Amino acid sequence: MAGADLMERVVNLCKRRGLIFPSSEIYGGFRSTWDYGPIGVLLKRNVKDQWWRSMVHLRPDVVGLDAAILMAPRVWEASGHLATFTDPLVDCRACKLRFRADDLPASGACPNCGATGSLTEARPFHLMFKTFVGPVEDEASVAYLRPETAQGIFVNYLNVQTTMRLRPPFGIAQIGKSFRNEITPGNFVFRTREFEQMEMEYFVPPEDAPRWFEYWCQERYRWYRDLGIPEEMLRIRAHGPDELSHYSAATADVEFAYPWGWGELEGIANRTDFDLRRHAEYSGQDLSYYDQEHDRRYVPYVIEPAAGADRAMLAFLLAAYREEEAPTADGRMEKRTVLRLDPRLAPIKVAVLPLSRNERLVPVAEDLAASLRPHFMIDTDSAGSIGRRYRRQDEIGTPLCVTVDFETLDDKAVTIRDRDTMTQERVPVAELTEHLRARLGG
Ligand code: GAP
């Protein structure tokens, strides 16, 4: 499906099926922020859970953290954000709109009104949101909403390292909200002013940094592949020297083939010892590590895989979206929309459907759903034809539907219908939980 078309259909599906709504919609929307609905919140939670599972749960060398969004303003002086966290901003004198200088077409014309010669010189625009902490709104009470979760990890480095008795190489992982006053938010949840990051800072001996940088580039690429993004929609792109952030010795992006072209999904950076050195300098705390085995002291280097939960969710949605021909119950062909999501990401794992609204079937289906609920995220639906209900589940990516029919009342078995193959299998109710668990994996 062509790019713009695919994007429009995914955005429509998200609105129509309760995945993502425009924020403050009844007031006309608030451009640049989005709200996750009942199905979307499940999908996003699954994305974050899979990240946490692979980065913390399955690793002996990484621990978790949940630091505050508001931090001492000195943090942002030390990190360099106050001085350098800007984007180049250009104004159009004709239509008064503002743009990121690096987003402008080569022609130099205004991308909105087309005027030529109307764009101002680029000037730096600060991306951090400012607020006031406490009852007085003066310079002394200024604080910032964090623009990355990473700094919460650096300022807790010593707390975590000492309380958990960790020796490099080790990592600290965190998921949380970040805020940036983006000049041009857009492309749905790709670039927003409030978003969620999944970041891990991996502390290593300086000489090992290049090796760990390579390792984390491969590992993060593998994570997206494993969860179903095809190879042809993913690539790793190394940054050129002119693209590097103020703290980075090397950066590579895991890029995704978005409908508008290749774009960043996640950045992996070798942040050197920049952050720990700066925080040591600004806080007066010694953040070096004494390596007893080699009797030496060093400031660890940091390799940082930094992903966005919203962007990852968008990529999983775009990669999973299909419109295909499917047979109806009476043998005709009709179009179905299906999200071929990995079952680990699917918002609903199993839908329990009575064949009809018959008064003998509905209570059996309800009881069955109640017995499955402790094990899987379950949906029930009895409105409309069974074919239509399968389609509704296909649209939100439910891997399996369990149908209760009149035979169930006698043989105590149900039909399991597979989202991708649409094949059906009869399974005894007594074996259902184990059977579903095996089919869903993960
Ligand atoms: N600590 C490093 C850091 O924040 P980044 O490349 O600016 O690096 C990491 O951000 C990831 O966070 C990005 O790859 C993207 O997935 C996500 N992200 C950044 N800005 C975003 C925005 N305005 N809206 C949505 N996601 C964003």
Q: What is the pLDDT of residues 393-433, one digit of tens each?
A: 999 999 999 999 999 999 999 999 999 999 999 999 999 99
Instruction: Say which range, 45-49, 81-85, 314-318, 340-344, has the weakest mean pLDDT.
Output: 81-85
DSSP string, 273-336: THHHHHHHHHH-----EEETTTTEEEPPEEEEEEEEHHHHHHHHHHHHEEEEEEE-TTS-EEEE
pLDDT of residue 441: 87
Answer whether residue 1 shows pLDDT above 80.
no
pLDDT of residue 329: 75
Answer whether residue 438 shows pLDDT above 80.
yes
What is the maximum span of the chain, computed from C-alpha positions, in angstroms?
79
pLDDT of residue 345: 98
**Which of 264, 271, 303, 313 to probe ligand 1 with, by most ligand atoms within 8 A of CB?**
264
pLDDT of residue 306: 98
Tell how far the Cα of 136 is from the centroid of ligand 1, in angstroms: 32
Instruction: Say which range, 78-92, 101-115, 129-143, 213-227, has the weakest mean pLDDT.
Output: 101-115
pLDDT of residue 24: 96
257 Cβ contact partners less than 8 Å away, ≥ 6 residues apart? 232, 233, 234
pLDDT of residue 328: 84
Q: What is the pLDDT of residues 320-332, one digit of tens each?
A: 999 999 988 788 9
**Which one, of 243, 219, 440, 221, lies nearest residue 342 by Cα?**
440
Average pLDDT over residues 62-83: 97
**Which one, of 414, 409, 360, 404, lies nearest residue 381 by Cα?**
404
Q: Whose CA is nearest to atom 22 of ligand 1?
A: 191
Task: Point out the ligand 1 atom lying closest to the alpha carbon of residue 147.
Answer: 4
Tell how far the Cα of 135 is from the centroid of ligand 1, in angstroms: 32
Three-state secondary structure call for residue 59: coil
Q: Please give the Cα distance from 5 to 10 (Å, whole number).
A: 9
Alpha-helical runs (H) found in 155-242: 157-163, 209-226
Arithmetic mean of pLDDT over the chain: 96
pLDDT of residue 285: 97
pLDDT of residue 264: 97
The reported pTM is 0.96
User: Chain centroid to CA 292: how far?
Assistant: 39
Average pLDDT over residues 115-144: 95
Q: Whose CA is nearest to atom 6 of ligand 1?
A: 267
DSSP string, 407-424: HHHHH-EEEEEETTT--E
Select the more confidently predicted residue: 189 or 31.
Answer: 189
**Which one, of 278, 280, 270, 161, lies nearest residue 208 by Cα?**
270
Long-range (24+ apart) CB contacts under 8 A made by 390-393 are 390/353, 390/417, 390/422, 391/336, 391/337, 393/348, 393/351, 393/419
Q: Please give the Cα distance from 413 to 426 (Å, whole number).
A: 6
| 413-418/321-327 β-pairing | unpaired
Q: Please give the Cα distance from 303 to 438 (Å, whole number).
A: 37
> Which residues surround ligand 1 with Cβ inside 6 Å?
148, 150, 180, 182, 191-192, 195, 197, 199, 264, 266-267, 304, 306-308, 310-311
Q: Is 50 exposed, middle or buried (0-12, 13-18, 19+ CB in 10 A)?
A: buried
pLDDT of residue 330: 81
DSSP string, 4-20: HHHHHHHHHHHHHTTSE
- pLDDT band at residue 245, thresholds of 50, 70 and 90? confident
pLDDT of residue 103: 82
- pLDDT band at residue 105, thresholds of 50, 70 and 90? confident
pLDDT of residue 5: 94
- Contact between 116 and 108 under an 8 Å Cβ cutoff? The reply is yes
Helix axes 361-372, 432-440, angle to 10 degrees: 60
Q: Is 315 exposed, middle or buried (0-12, 13-18, 19+ CB in 10 A)?
A: buried
> In degrees to the nearest 10, what's the CA dihedral of 217, 54, 234, 340?
180
pLDDT > 90 in the chain, percent: 93
Q: Whose CA is nearest to atom 17 of ligand 1?
A: 308
Q: Is 214 exposed, middle or buried (0-12, 13-18, 19+ CB in 10 A)?
A: middle
Average pLDDT over residues 376-383: 97
pLDDT of residue 393: 98
Question: For the chain, what percentages of helix, strand and coil (3-state, to nearest 5) are there?
Answer: 35, 30, 35
Q: Is the peptide bond before 169 cis (omega within 30 degrees of 0)?
A: yes
- pLDDT band at residue 146, thresholds of 50, 70 and 90? very high
pLDDT of residue 442: 63
Q: How far is CA 249 from CA 89, 246, 310, 393, in A?
A: 26, 9, 27, 47
**Which of 129, 223, 311 to probe ligand 1 with, by most ligand atoms within 8 A of CB?**
311
- Contact between 235 and 252 under an 8 Å Cβ cutoff? The reply is no
pLDDT of residue 409: 97
Tell how far the Cα of 113 is from the centroid of ligand 1, in angstroms: 29
